[in-house]
Chains A and B, each alone.
Chain A
Amino acid sequence: MIVHAEALRREFVVGKRGARRRLAAVDGIDLRIEPGETVGFLGPNGAGKSTTIKMLTGILVPTAGRLSVCGLDPVSRRRELARRIGVVFGQRSALWWDLPLADSFDLLRTIHRVPRAVHRARLARCADVLGLAEFLATPVRQLSLGQRMRGEVTAALLHAPPLLVLDEPTVGLDLVSKERLRAFLHEVNTEDGVTVLLTTHDLPDVERLCRRVVVIDQGRVVADDELEVLRGRFAGPRELIVDLAAPAPQLDGATGLPGVTGSRVEADGMRRRYTFGPATSAASLVAEVARRAEIRDIAVHEPSIEDLVRTLYAGARPGG
C-alpha cells in the first residue's frame, strides 16, 4: 500500500479567546491506496480534502490515527517522504517566482540530487508532451496560469516520485490547458505506473483520470469505490434516445423491452427516449428496438458525474 490511513483525525481550535472549541476538519478517515491506482478525492468545500492531503504530505501533524505514505510516517520522516512524492497545489507555487522556469527545474534537480543526464531526459519528455519549450527561459512570474501549472506538474515529477498528489491542479485553467494536463497525467499513470491522488471540483478531471473515487464530507468518507460502480449504484438511470425512420405505434407501451423503466415520445413520434437501469446493456436494448422498428440514429446518455456527486453529498447530510 502506498497510502495507508486508519482513523485519521485532525482537529483545529477555532473561535475567539474565551469561546474556543475544537473542530474536527478530518474526523476519522480510512484510506488505502495501492501502487498504480488513480484516485479522485472529492468533497464539497470544507469537507477536509486539503487537510487530509496536507497530513499525507507531512505538512500537518495528525491529531490522531495512523498514517503511512510510501511506507513512511509523514511527520517524523518528512524529508525522506519529500523525495518520494510529487505534490502540486493549484493555489501555490513550488517554483521560484523570479527565476526562469528552466532555472527552477535545475534547482530542483540539485535539491533532489538527480543525475544530470537523467534530469535532462525527464525534462525533455515533460517539455515535449506539455509543450514547455517556448517558455522555459521565461521567469515564472511572467507565465500564464496554464503555462505555470504545466511547469508545476513537471517540477513535481522531475525526481520520478512513485506517488503524485494534486490539489485542484486544473483550477482556473482554460479547456485546452485542462485537457493537455489530463492527458499527460493519464500517460504518467499508465506508462510510468505513478500512483495519482487528485482532489478537484472539476468533475471531468475525475471522469478522465480516476478509476476510483473517494468522496468525503464533513471529515468522513461517505463513498469509496470504482467510479463505474458508484455510477451504477448512486447515479440516476441511463437514457437511450432513438430517432426513427417513421413513427412507430407498435413501440407504444414499451412492452417486452428489457430493463426499461420509462419511455417518452417526442417529435411527432419520430423520437423516443427510454430510461433503463444499470443492469441492462444499451446494446441489447438497441437490438430489441431495432427488431421492432427502423432506426435512423441513436444516442446514449450516461448519468452525469455531477448528478452522482450531488446524490452522494446529499446522502451524507443528516436529514438529506
Chain B
Amino acid sequence: MAVYRRLLASRVRGQLAYPLSFGLDLLAQALGQTIELVVIVVLFGRVHTLGGFGADEVLLIFALAGIAFGLADLVVGQLDELPRWIRTGELDVLLLRPLPVLAQLVTADMQLRRLGRVLVGLLVLGVVLTRAPIAWSPVTVLLLISTPLVGAVIIGSIWVATCAVAFWVVEAREVANAFTYGSSLSTAYPVTVFAPWLRRLLTFVVPAAFVAYYPVLAILGRSDPLGRPDAMRYAAPLVAVASVAVAGLIWRAAVRRYQGAGS
C-alpha cells in the first residue's frame, strides 16, 4: 500500500499546486452532474411519478448513484488512458515492475477534480434524506453508507472489464465510453423506466441496477414493482464481489493478450 500511496502523492500534490485551476476543474465536474439533476427536476415538473417512483425517491437513487459514479471515476477513471499506454508500448515498463499492472495504471494518476460529482451527490443526498419517505432503522443507515461504496466497486468493475477491450482493439475508446457514460445514466434512474430487455440486461448482465436501485428499494422499505424477490434489495455486496471476480478474469486474459508495440 505504501508504494501506491507514494506513487499517488506526487500526482495529487501537482494538482493542488494550482488551487484556482483545480477549483475550476472541480466546478466543471460538479456542473456536469448538476445538469443531470436539472433534467430530473424538469421532468418532475411535467409528471408526478417516473417508473412508479416520486421525485424524492428518484433523487435518492440519483444521489447515491452519483456518489458511486464519482468515486469509481476517481479511482479507475485513469483507465481512459489505457489505449495510449498500449499504443506507445509504455505498458512494457509496468510489466517490468513487481506490481500488478492494473494497480499501477490506476495509481499512475488520480484526478481529484472528479470529486466534484461526489460533492453534488452528497448535497442532493443531504436534501433528499429530509424529504423522502425513508423507513429509518440501523439497516437503513448501514445501507446509506455502504451503497455508494459498494456501487463504486460495481461500476469500477464494469469499467475495468470494458476498458480491457483495448487489448484486443486498441482504439476501443468508444466502446468503453458507451459503458462509462451509459453507467452514469443507467444507474441514476429506477430500472422500471427502461424497456423490459434493458431491465434484464441491467440486472443480470451489466449489474447497474444493484448500484443504487435495489438498495434504495430497501431504504424506502418498498418491494420491487416488477415483483423480483425482496432479497435482491440486499444483494449489492454479493453482486460487487462477483463483478470484481469477473472483471479480474477478463483483465488477466487481456494482459496476456498484450503483444506490445514494435520496438
Contacts and interface: CB of A to CB of B under 8 A. Distances in A.
Given A54-B92, A92-B90, 5 more contacts: A57-B95, A78-B95, A79-B99, A80-B98, A82-B96
Interface string A83-111: 10001010111101011000100010011
A63 B58 CA distance: 53
A50 B263 contact: yes
A32 interface: no
B193 interface: no
Given A110-B2, A110-B6, A94 B96 contact: yes
Main SS class of interface, B: loop
Interface of B: 2-3, 6-7, 10, 14, 89-90, 92-93, 95-100, 256, 258-260, 262-263
Contacts of A110: 2-3, 6
Contacts of A12: 259
A111 B97 contact: yes
B36 to A, nearest CB: 34
Contact of A111 (B90, B92, B98, B259): B98
Contact of A54 (B2, B7, B260): B260
A59 interface: yes
19 contacts: A50-B262, A50-B263, A54-B92, A59-B96, A59-B260, A60-B259, A60-B260, A61-B256, A79-B98, A82-B96, A82-B97, A92-B90, A92-B93, A94-B97, A99-B10, A107-B6, A111-B97, A111-B98, A167-B263
A216 B45 CA distance: 74
Which of A12, A57, A78, A99 is most buried by chain B, counting CB atoms within 10 A of its CB?
A78
Given A57-B96, A82-B98, A75 B256 contact: yes
A112 interface: yes
Contacts of A82: 95-98
Interface in A47-93: 50, 54, 57-61, 75, 78-80, 82-83, 87, 89, 91-93
A107 B7 contact: yes
B37 to A, nearest CB: 36
Nearest to B262: A50
9 closest A-B pairs by beta carbon, nearest first, are A50-B263, A82-B98, A79-B98, A59-B95, A83-B98, A87-B96, A110-B3, A59-B92, A94-B93
Given A91-B263, A92-B90, A99-B10, A58 B3 contact: no
A83 B258 CA distance: 21
A16 to B, nearest CB: 15
Contacts of B258: 59-60
A75 B252 CA distance: 11
A107 B5 CA distance: 10
Nearest to B100: A79
Nearest to B5: A110
A111 B100 contact: no
Nearest to B10: A99
B9 to A, nearest CB: 10
Contacts of B97: 82, 94, 111
Which of B6, B92, B259, B263 is most buried by chain A, counting CB atoms within 10 A of its CB?
B263
B10 A96 contact: yes
A112 B98 CA distance: 7
A164 B29 CA distance: 46
Contacts of A54: 92, 260
Contact of B14 (A59, A60, A83, A98): A98
Contacts of B262: 50
Nearest to B256: A61
Contacts of B95: 57-59, 78, 82
Given A59-B92, A93-B93, A111 B256 contact: no
Contacts of B93: 89, 92-94
Contacts of B98: 79-80, 82-83, 111-112
Contacts of A94: 93, 96-97
A12 B89 CA distance: 16
A300 B141 CA distance: 89
